[in-house]
Amino acid sequence: MTYRLVVDQVGSHGSSLHRASLLLLHPKARALLPGDERATEVSGIHGRILRLLALSVGHSFSADWLAGFLDYTTLKSVAPMVMQLRRKLGGSRWGDRAIRSDHGVGYYLDPATVDIDALEFRCLVEPLILLYKDVAEPDYIPLNEADDQLTGIETAVSLWRANPAVGLEDLTAAEHQYYYEYEILYDRVQRLRILLALRVGTLERLRQSILLLERKIADRQSPDGEHWCQLIRAYYSTGNPSKVKETYARAKRYYDLIHQQPVPSEVEDYFQRSIRHDEGFNLFRARTRIRIVNSSSPEATVSGPPSAAPDEQASGEELSQVVHSIGITTHSQLRLAGSRMEPVQLMRRVKQRLWFSGVLASKWVTDPAVRSELSDFLTVLDHVPEGDVRFMIMNPDGSGYRRLRELRGDELSTEHLPLLAQLAREHSSFQVKVFDHLPTFRIHVIDKDVVTFSFYRLDEKSYLEGDDDEWESPHVVLDPLAPWPIAEAFATLFSEMWRGSRFLDMEKYT
């Protein structure tokens, strides 16, 4: 099925001032109506019909067909349902003229009145998928275009939080199987994203391809041989031979247990190429380093490292190797900006797992805009089988909390607790526990590829003699995909603390 975006027409119906935006790439369908600052959520039966009409791009559905689709016992129920949907969409302000009725034909959504994020997604990715449909290896993609094309793919993927046809899985007519069309489209987008990331070959992009490949292998009952091959090559290119051997061993176990056969010859070939250090097998390409001459001036130059004595240079190189091996990294590699790990940037990066351990978690819930984003984020993870958000905070009735109130001069509030309890009740992916001690670290465990920690300065001297900045300290970012990662120590610390903590009493804070 081919889609096209409808260009604004001259006149009231086509004017961008009178168009709405439908946000369907999310478990909750939403409509941003003309003149509104906040989107209107459309759920239930009305959400299903809105998705159906929007994804059908002007196709009409008869009342008889809609009655059957909704399991209505009578055709008379269809018109009131459509009227209710129009009202939800602003009535005379937009819904009445957007959802049209062709007498004798059926109902349809006028494409000249609306922009739809799902169709924008298709328009962004389908030309790229078509361009590279015959490419099997990253080496065959022209290097000078890989980075730009990958940026375009990532722009499109950033729109996707759920299949836009969720709720339409039971449609059987070939021309209306939107859910499966989008699943296939998204799978092809991710395959191309992996190929482009491997071709770009920077450490950031190689890590990205590793995460996507690991997810594909974990999520699929029958991973493709190319996924094992690409994962071996990606780990080899990041300088992680232990992961190469581990991946090969996993592939052997998989084919032995599931298929009762040896690994495919191409997987064996990729592993042997890594063992031989085959020329051209390593995809890594270091970016040019930029050294700032003087941070207080706007001048900057591209250059190598500053001159140093041979012993100092050797020592620096050894230290860099150690830092790389244990996984202390930079935020830019992990697509995290700044050093404070703000809630919004973290949520927009997480795909599956977010563990947080801290004092209050107030930054996540006391600001209404951040809390709204957290609720949307949790809604997405509610629909992800492995969605896992755990918050671990201080028990307001514990001895540690009482001591902290003394140090802080009674500045602490418990307003965050009912908000956290409400979110935990509403979202299956969200759990909250409490502990009694004064914590040493603030910890984030993000998906399978980032761990961050920062020190709390909760000693008495810091509070009595210091200023407000003593409360904050920058996060250290750790890479669990490093050869000998220390990230695992902090993830294990979180897990042990979690087992020793108790769930927040949600009834108490209702």
HSE of 432 in the Cβ direction (CA atoms, 13 Å)?
A: 26
Residue 289 above 60 pLDDT? Answer: no
Residue 140 in domain: yes
pLDDT digits (tens, 9 = 90+) for 331-362: 777 878 777 788 998 998 898 999 999 988 99
The helix/strand/coil state of 462 is helix
DSSP code at position 359: S
Residue 438 in domain: yes
Rounded to 5 degrees, φ, ψ at 339 are -125, 5
> Residue 379 sits in a domain of what CATH number?
3.30.870.10
Instruction: Choose among 365, 431, 360, 361: nearest CA to 400.
Output: 360
pLDDT score, position 400 = 87
Residue 69 in domain: yes
Q: CA 19 to CA 409: how far, in whole Å?
A: 53
pLDDT digits (tens, 9 = 90+) for 242-267: 999 999 999 999 999 888 999 999 99
pLDDT score, position 286 = 78
The token pair at 504 is 């927040």
Question: What strands lie across the sheet with 388-394, from one edge to the other?
Answer: 476-478, 450-455, 441-446, 353-357, 388-394, 430-435, 502-503
CB 283 within 8 A of CB 233: yes
| Last residue in a domain, options 148, 179, 210 | 179
How confident is residue 13, by pLDDT bands cut at 50, 70 and 90? Answer: very low
Q: CA 5 to CA 341: how far, in whole Å?
A: 37
Residue 318 in domain: no
376 and 235, same structural domain? no
491 and 347, same structural domain? yes
The token pair at 280 is 């051209």
220 and 107, same structural domain? no
End-to-end CA distance of the chain: 49
- Beta bridge mates, 302: 290
Burial class (CB in 10 A: 0-12, 13-18, 19+), 305: exposed
Query: Residue 290: in which H helix or E strand, if any?
Result: strand 290-291
| Last residue in a domain, options 127, 144, 179 | 179
474 and 369, same structural domain? yes
172 and 213, same structural domain? no
| Residue entry with tokens 């957290």 | 374
Residue 414 above 80 pLDDT? Answer: yes
161 and 42, same structural domain? yes
171 and 101, same structural domain? yes
| Last residue in a domain, options 261, 286, 308 | 308
Residue 254 in domain: yes
DSSP code at position 101: E
CB 60 within 8 A of CB 105: yes
| Residue entry with tokens 């176990």 | 253
411 and 359, same structural domain? yes
113 and 224, same structural domain? no
- Beta bridge mates, 116: 22
Residue 6 above 90 pLDDT? Answer: no
Instruction: Choose among 283, 267, 203: nearest CA to 483.
Output: 203
Across the chain, mean pLDDT equals 86
152 and 9, same structural domain? yes
- Beta bridge mates, 477: 452
Q: What is the mean pLDDT of residues 470-486?
A: 80
Q: CA 154 to CA 212: how far, in whole Å?
A: 13
Residue 454 in domain: yes
23 and 161, same structural domain? yes
Residue 192 in domain: no
Instruction: Choose among 276, 466, 498: nearest CA to 388.
Output: 498
CB 201 within 8 A of CB 419: no
pLDDT digits (tens, 9 = 90+) for 79-103: 999 999 999 999 999 999 999 998 7
- Per the structure, the complete domain to which residue 287 belongs is given by 201-308
Q: Give how many domains the chain has, as a whole number.
A: 3
392 and 244, same structural domain? no
> Residue 26 sits in a domain of what CATH number?
1.10.10.10
Residue 220 in domain: yes
The token pair at 11 is 């006149």
